[in-house]
């Protein structure tokens, strides 16, 4: 009976090794965070939170944002992408996924870094929401002022 248990365990480990053949990267934008898995030898399938990226992101502009890095280095139909994004809005999530894909592509091939950097895909956009200040209604909006 012990021999059967060992065989089962070996089979499970083999299945895990096949699944783990990916590169992992994180992208952030505003409040959005995206974790990206890039699978080599894929067919160009991009999924975000379990849906095709064309279904998850409502506009064509956001779809172009996500697929931009893959097209710029000619890997659009050679790798598969699985992304999980949360926080922020859809625009911020799409740009976070773009940064994650770009970072994963650099792990795949260091020679892609020059093209991706030139296109601006590797630069983390540092702009975030400004904090609210005391005495103001929002970050810069002052309370209404009356002359008389």
- Total structural domains in the chain? 1
CATH number at residue 80: 3.30.230.10
Q: How many angstroms separate the CA atoms of 88 and 128, rounded?
A: 11
Domain assignment present for residue 31? The answer is: yes
Give residue 34's Cα distance to chain centre.
4
Domain assignment present for residue 103? The answer is: yes
**Phi then psi for 91, rounded to 5 degrees?**
-65, -45
Q: Are 114 and 43 in contact (CB under 8 A)?
A: no
Domain assignment present for residue 139? The answer is: no
The overall pTM is greater than 0.75: yes
Domain assignment present for residue 148? The answer is: no
Domain assignment present for residue 78? The answer is: yes
pLDDT average per 10 residues of sequence, the chain (148 residues): 47 42 95 96 94 94 95 93 96 97 95 95 96 97 94
Give residue 97's Cα distance to chain centre.
2
Q: Are 123 and 28 in contact (CB under 8 A)?
A: no
Domain assignment present for residue 63? The answer is: yes
Domain assignment present for residue 4? The answer is: no
Domain boundaries, position 34: 20-119
Q: How many angstroms separate the CA atoms of 128 and 140, rounded?
A: 14
pLDDT reported for residue 148: 87
Domain assignment present for residue 70? The answer is: yes
What 4-10 contacts at long range (C-beta under 8 Å, 24+ apart), as own/partner pairs, is none
**Which residue is associated with the tokens 């909006």?**
141
């Amino acid at each position: 009976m012990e021999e059967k248990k060992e065989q089962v365990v070996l089979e499970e480990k083999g299945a895990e090794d096949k699944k783990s053949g990916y590169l992992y990267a994180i992208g952030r934008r505003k409040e959005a965070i995206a974790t990206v898995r890039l699978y080599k030898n894929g067919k160009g399938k991009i999924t975000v939170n379990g849906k095709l990226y064309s279904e998850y992101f409502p506009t064509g502009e956001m779809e172009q944002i996500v697929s931009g890095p893959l097209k710029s280095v000619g890997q659009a139909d050679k790798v598969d992408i699985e992304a999980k994004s949360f926080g922020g809005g859809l625009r911020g999530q799409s740009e976070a996924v773009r940064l994650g894909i770009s970072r994963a592509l650099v792990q795949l091939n260091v020679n892609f870094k020059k093209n991706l950097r030139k296109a601006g895909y590797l630069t983390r956009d540092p702009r975030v929401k400004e904090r609210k200040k005391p005495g103001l209604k929002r970050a810069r909006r002052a309370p209404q002022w009356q002359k008389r």
